[in-house]
Structure 1
Amino acid sequence: MEHLIFDNFDKLGRIAVASALVYLLIVGVTKLSGKRSTSQLNNFDWVVTVMIGSIGASTILLKSIPFVEGAASIITLYTLQYLVTKVASISPNFSSFILSEPRIVFYQGQFLPEAMRKERLCRQELECAMRAEGINDYSQVEAIVFESDAKLTVIQKPEPDNIKPAVDGLPISQSIKTLMQ
Structure 2
Amino acid sequence: MFFNSWMDLLHVAVVGVLVYFGLILSLRLAGKRTLSKWNAFDMVITVALGSTLSSAFLSKDVSLAQGLAAIVVMVALQFAISWTMVRSARVRGVVKARPTLLFDRGEFLEGPMRTQRVTHSEIRAAIRGAGHAALEDVEAVVLETNGDFSVLRRVQQPGERTALCDVEGAGQ
**TM-score after normalising by structure 2:** 0.86
Is residue 130 of structure 1 aligned with residue 141 of structure 2? Answer: no
What percentage of residue pairs aligned between the two structures are identical? 30
Cα offset, 1:127, TM superposition: 2.2
Work out the number of aligned pairs and report it: 158
Q: Which residue of 2 aligns with 1:173?
A: none
One-letter identity of the residue aligned with 2:7? D
Q: Where in structure 1 do 4 or more consecutive aligned residues deviate above 3 Å?
A: none
Secondary structure of the residue that 1:86 maps to in structure 2?
A: helix
Q: Which residue of 1 aligns with 2:106?
A: 109
Assess if the C-alpha contact under 8 Å between 2:102 and 2:140 holds in 1: yes
Cα offset, 1:90, TM superposition: 0.6
Is residue 37 of structure 1 aligned with residue 34 of structure 2? Answer: yes
Assess if the C-alpha contact under 8 Å between 2:41 and 2:96 holds in 1: yes
Match of 1:95 among 92, 95, 98: 92
Q: Distance in 1 between the 2:128 and 2:15 partners? A: 45
Pairing of 1:1-181 with structure 2 (within 5 A): 3-4=1-2, 6-160=3-157
Assess if the C-alpha contact under 8 Å between 2:137 and 2:156 holds in 1: no
**TM-score after normalising by structure 1:** 0.82
- Deviation sequence 1:126-163 (CA, Å, 0-9, x none): 222222212232111111101111111111112458xx
**Where in structure 1 are there 5+ consecutive unaligned residues?**
162-181
**Where in structure 2 are there 5+ consecutive unaligned residues?**
159-172
Q: Return closer, same or farther for 1:123/1:7 CA change in 2, 3 Å cut-off.
A: farther
RMSD, aligned CA: 1.5
Q: Distance in 2 between the 1:69 and 1:139 partners? A: 57
